[in-house]
Amino acid sequence: MLTLAQANRIIEAILVRGAELECRPLSVIVVEPGCKVKAFQKEDGSSMIRFEMAFGKAYAALALGRSSRLVRVRNEEKPAFMRYLIAASGDQLFPEGGGMQIRDAAGKVIGAVGVTGDTEDRDEELAAHGIHAAGLKTDDDCRDMGRSINARLTDR
């Protein structure tokens, strides 16, 4: 189970690190399985619809069981397939990097984080930083935990 304290720690760590790196204003969401919002913060100066973008990145990670960066790769490779999934999600799925699944110590998916505001690479880096700051794991951390964990590290 993802606690509110963990969700807030993820967001706090991302915002602090983003300020250290002089990122543009960030918006960060943490969701539970089923993409139910646990916590969200939007820095002063963030542009419109940042909640929707952060949510869409977290939704993409949970819906396809991989980082939203890999969802973007899938979108480029199989646009018809992804158009269907985006429509099936009610246009909630946003295939752009910055969304990552959150895993517990055993590798179980307990939620996702979505970061938006800076570059795709930076958003992704910050998502991993926040997850680690809360003492939790990313898909990459679980790569050697076996098939049952189903950590997707490629676009296949």
Q: Is residue 12 part of a domain?
A: yes
Alpha-carbon span 46 to 78, nearest angstrom = 32
β-sheet bridge partners, residue 95: none
Q: Is residue 108 part of a domain?
A: yes
Q: Which tokens is 79 given?
A: 């646009």
**86-136 tens-digit pLDDT:** 999 999 999 999 999 999 999 999 999 999 999 999 999 999 999 999 999
Domain of residue 70, CATH code: 3.30.450.150
pLDDT higher than threshold 60 for residue 155 = no
Alpha-carbon span 117 to 43, nearest angstrom = 9
**49-96 tens-digit pLDDT:** 999 999 999 999 999 999 998 999 999 999 999 999 999 999 999 999
Of 154, 111, 124, the closest CA to residue 1 belongs to 111
Q: Is residue 155 part of a domain?
A: no
Alpha-carbon span 123 to 51, nearest angstrom = 14
DSSP code at position 147: G
Q: Is residue 107 part of a domain?
A: yes
Whole domain around residue 111: which residue ranges? 4-149
Alpha-carbon span 18 to 38, nearest angstrom = 21
Q: Is residue 123 part of a domain?
A: yes
Its pTM stands at 0.93
Number of domains in the chain: 1
Q: Which tokens is 11 given?
A: 């967001």
Q: Is residue 156 part of a domain?
A: no
- The answer to whether 121 touches 21, Cβ cutoff 8 Å, is no
